[in-house]
Chain A
């Protein structure tokens, strides 16, 4: 009798565990595809909020090619993001001027010129550098770099392209370091050994063999660094100085690092809080429109598209390397 009971219990337990197993496997599959759902979700919801703007007044020329961004003006409302694009562009270029040489240099040093212990220690440092929150970087730009730049360059204000560029450069350097180091490590040992057997020094090895062999990986690293710099928000919000204008002129086609700008990301962060989602309707002294709010989502879509392209390109490059290896 007891045996039969035990048998029944065991059967029941087996059925239960079979059921729970099926549930968990279904759950695993569901979570597996969640990343796709979220990417589409991001696109969908950002698009959804921005769509009235796209439908009603969006026009490629006046949106992308005009530098007049007056979303809250009463008489002369304009939504042109050229100056914001220029701001993002100039900060990104400045950041890359800092991050590419130092990032790649550090990657080369880590993989070729130092011992195992030094490398471990430096890699931990790089990891910690990557962990510093962007708002802390912004704070550093605001409180530390700002007076420093004023003192060193005599600029009237230290919140400018130079400041934001250095800060964002330091932020995107770690990702460049880690991916470039992986790329350099992926260079087949046989190349290195062959060159060493021919009597090449370390430097010749790096310059003639390793860097050329790793160049697409280094390109991917730089691309991801650019993606990081374009998408950075808090640091540029706090360190660029909030001035919507194009930091270069026809006479001096190179941008002026000491001018203040405003980036795409910073614009969203700075204005979304004050842009009402719904029209308040006519009447009142300052009738606000939801257009402003919607236009910020359209900027978001542009950012999404830019980073999407960058990520996909970098991923294709990295995959290509792996297939060859």
Chain B
């Protein structure tokens, strides 16, 4: 069981200036499978993800204490932050197509990591676009601007890009709020296919999405972990915690 833990979070506290976002939380996220994190707004879900790949350091006035260990190595002590980030794919709420061609969007991360070989890049681009269920739609216009795609396409492009450096961990932060239900479903299918190969951390404010996809679900409230359990348990009639029950039933949140 110990070997199976991918991300260990120990006593993680984050505050932005005087405003605390996370209060010393501890979590074990197992390798492979979908780990869903639910919770109301401002509960620290996004901050948690930013700590995993250390982009929290770009936030103004952010102070971090505690540890995030990936495969036993504390990310805040890792020497090469860029290599660290390449092990983690990140998808944000709003789709961001870089102002580059579709091809260059997906090839961006491998190129920045030093991959120059045209054929290898072609392979990466095709594989990732296929994985993100976008290949069929864009294969004929790989050279057009990524920012000109529709919102749903851009979000899948973002996912393809997040997969382009072959990450071990894929973090998604409320990926579905800016896209239509049909696209959401397609991306959810993609995630269920991917979960056998990588650790997926899914932050969502749609409890039903967590219920559909999550193998484990964690309920976060006001910067503290309320409950972590098998998804079925969290959404059962007796999750063992009144707060969780209330939140999943929509009584508060």
Contacts and interface: CB of A to CB of B under 8 A. Distances in A.
A/B touching: CB–CB < 8 A: yes
A195 B114 CA distance: 59
A17 B114 CA distance: 9
A18 to B, nearest CB: 10
Nearest to A10: B114
Interface class of chain A by DSSP = helix
Interface class of chain B by DSSP = loop
A77 interface: no
A13 B113 CA distance: 11
A151 interface: no
A319 interface: no
A14 B114 CA distance: 7
Nearest to A14: B114
B114 to A, nearest CB: 5
Interface in A13-46: 13-14, 17
Interface in B68-118: 114
A99 B114 CA distance: 57
B246 to A, nearest CB: 39
Interface residues of B, number: 1
B116 to A, nearest CB: 8
A324 B147 CA distance: 35
Interface string B109-130: 0000010000000000000000
A194 B114 CA distance: 57
Contacts of A13: 114
Interface residues of A, number: 4
A10 B120 CA distance: 15
A105 B223 CA distance: 54
Nearest to B114: A14
Contacts of A14: 114
B177 to A, nearest CB: 28
A13 to B, nearest CB: 7
Contacts of B114: 10, 13-14, 17
B137 to A, nearest CB: 34
B85 to A, nearest CB: 16
Nearest to B117: A6
Nearest to B115: A10
B156 to A, nearest CB: 31
A14 B111 CA distance: 12
B99 to A, nearest CB: 22
B109 to A, nearest CB: 15
A17 B113 CA distance: 11
A10 B114 CA distance: 8
Nearest to B82: A18
Interface in B114-155: 114
Interface string A1-18: 000000000100110010
Nearest to B113: A14
B119 to A, nearest CB: 14
A315 B240 CA distance: 60
B104 to A, nearest CB: 18
B75 to A, nearest CB: 20
Interface string A281-318: 00000000000000000000000000000000000000
A9 to B, nearest CB: 10
Interface string B27-43: 00000000000000000
Interface in A153-169: none
A125 B21 CA distance: 51
A101 B114 CA distance: 60
Nearest to A6: B117
A17 B116 CA distance: 13
A225 to B, nearest CB: 35
B41 to A, nearest CB: 26
Contacts of A17: 114
B125 to A, nearest CB: 20
Nearest to A11: B114
Nearest to A17: B114
A221 to B, nearest CB: 31
A17 B112 CA distance: 11
A35 to B, nearest CB: 23
Contacts of A10: 114
Interface in B139-188: none
A29 B114 CA distance: 25
Interface string A30-69: 0000000000000000000000000000000000000000
B84 to A, nearest CB: 16
A10 B111 CA distance: 12
A52 B86 CA distance: 62
A8 to B, nearest CB: 13
A10 B115 CA distance: 9
A13 B114 CA distance: 8
A84 B86 CA distance: 66
A138 to B, nearest CB: 46
Interface in A235-252: none
A232 B114 CA distance: 53
A10 B113 CA distance: 11
What are the 3 tightest A-B residue pairs by CB atom distance, in nearest-first order? A14-B114, A10-B114, A13-B114
4 contacts: A10-B114, A13-B114, A14-B114, A17-B114
